[in-house]
């Protein structure tokens, strides 16, 4: 073979040969910029071992982390949004839905179902930011509402992990209506004396923040999660002022009394187990029952 046909290793600026690694072998932390072996990050529950930055989790990963193994039953799995407005921007809404489904993140931005945490039953919803930024449209609002109503029927706590860019613009006013719809369902649940726990993960913004995400009897957050209505960049451009350090991060909200506690991912399951067990025993269905029911 001639020298002109031979493959060559990439050459760096100083003449040294660059080594090519398989795709996905390393993960770069966007907080501390450390380059970490991906398996080390995954072993650490997708938390940076250098700076404790919490990477985003897919909904399925979150469910596996929180619930007892084999206890989860999904509801409303086949519900899927419809392009009733025939909305188009750079792509049609129909194509965006199809692309999101093809990524393998389920058929919508939230997974809802029933499971147990150390034996205590809960109705649980987990958002997946990988599906159209976790945006809330008519189907997301309907699934959340059904979950809350199911908690009332089965006399169990409701638990929602939020991760969302807000209401889905492709559904216009219909998406905004979900804010009132889910909030009304929570008001009915409260009248029944049943608890709702809201867990805010990075990011929780827009209409989701302005509705059910901030209505929990207990509001928890992961460390440094971005939480707010409009993003900090939009606010700075609007008011033309520099925002305080850490503004809209979980720690800032805790300091100002807007959330109840911050829980690292490694402690989330045990903390939720403690809370839901305590609250469940105060409901008519769980009165007098032990942790294992």
Among the candidates 39, 55, 71, a domain finishes at 55
CA–chain centroid gap for 91, Å, is 25
> What pLDDT does 1 receive?
47
d(CA 247, CA 228): 9
Domain assignment present for 6: no
Q: Are residues 49 and 68 in the same domain?
A: no
d(CA 68, CA 83): 37
Domain assignment present for 14: no
CA distances from residue 259 to 83, 216, 227, 248, 272 in whole angstroms, order as listed = 36, 9, 10, 11, 15
Among the candidates 8, 28, 55, a domain finishes at 55
> What pLDDT does 105 receive?
73
Domain enclosing residue 30, as ranges: 20-55
Q: Are residues 244 and 117 in the same domain?
A: yes
Which parts of the chain have pLDDT scores under 50? Answer: 1, 3-4, 290-293
Q: Are residues 187 and 265 in the same domain?
A: yes
pTM of the model: 0.88
Within a 10 A sphere around the Cβ of 256, how many other Cβ atoms?
8
Domain assignment present for 170: yes
CATH code of the domain covering residue 190: 3.90.226.10
Q: Are residues 37 and 179 in the same domain?
A: no
Q: Are residues 42 and 133 in the same domain?
A: no
Within a 10 A sphere around the Cβ of 271, how many other Cβ atoms?
14
> What pLDDT does 293 receive?
41
Q: Which of 113, 135, 140 is nearest to 124 (CA)?
A: 113
CA angle 92, 94, 226 (to 5 degrees): 85
Q: Are residues 48 and 90 in the same domain?
A: no
Q: What total of structural domains would you count in the chain?
A: 2
Q: Are residues 31 and 105 in the same domain?
A: no
Q: Are residues 51 and 187 in the same domain?
A: no
Tokens (6 digits) for 44: 């650490």
Q: Are residues 31 and 162 in the same domain?
A: no
């Amino acid at each position: 073979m001639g020298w002109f046909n031979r493959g060559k290793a990439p050459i760096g600026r100083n003449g040294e040969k660059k080594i090519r690694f398989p795709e996905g072998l390393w993960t770069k932390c966007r907080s501390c910029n450390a380059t970490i072996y991906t398996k080390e990050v995954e072993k650490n529950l997708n938390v940076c071992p250098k700076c404790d930055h919490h990477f985003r989790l897919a909904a399925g990963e979150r469910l596996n982390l929180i619930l007892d193994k084999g206890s989860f039953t999904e509801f409303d799995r086949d519900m899927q949004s419809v392009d009733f407005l025939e909305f188009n921007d750079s792509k049609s809404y129909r194509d965006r839905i199809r692309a999101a489904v093809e990524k393998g993140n389920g058929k919508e931005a939230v997974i809802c179902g029933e499971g147990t945490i150390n034996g205590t039953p809960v109705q649980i919803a987990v958002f997946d930011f990988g599906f159209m930024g976790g945006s809330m449209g008519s189907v997301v609002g309907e699934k959340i509402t059904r979950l809350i109503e199911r908690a009332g029927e089965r006399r169990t706590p409701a638990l929602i992990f939020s991760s969302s860019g807000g209401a889905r613009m492709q559904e216009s006013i219909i998406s905004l209506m979900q804010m009132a719809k889910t909030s009304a369902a929570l008001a009915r649940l409260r009248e029944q004396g049943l608890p709702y726990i809201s867990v805010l993960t990075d990011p929780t913004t827009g209409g989701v923040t302005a509705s059910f995400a901030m209505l929990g009897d207990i509001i928890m957050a992961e460390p440094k999660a971005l939480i707010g209505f409009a993003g900090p960049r939009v606010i700075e451009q609007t008011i033309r002022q520099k925002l305080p350090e850490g503004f809209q991060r979980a720690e800032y909200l805790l300091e100002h009394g807007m959330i109840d506690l911050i829980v690292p991912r490694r402690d989330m399951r045990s903390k939720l187990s403690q809370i839901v067990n305590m609250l469940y025993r105060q409901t008519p269905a769980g009165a007098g029952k032990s942790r294992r029911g």
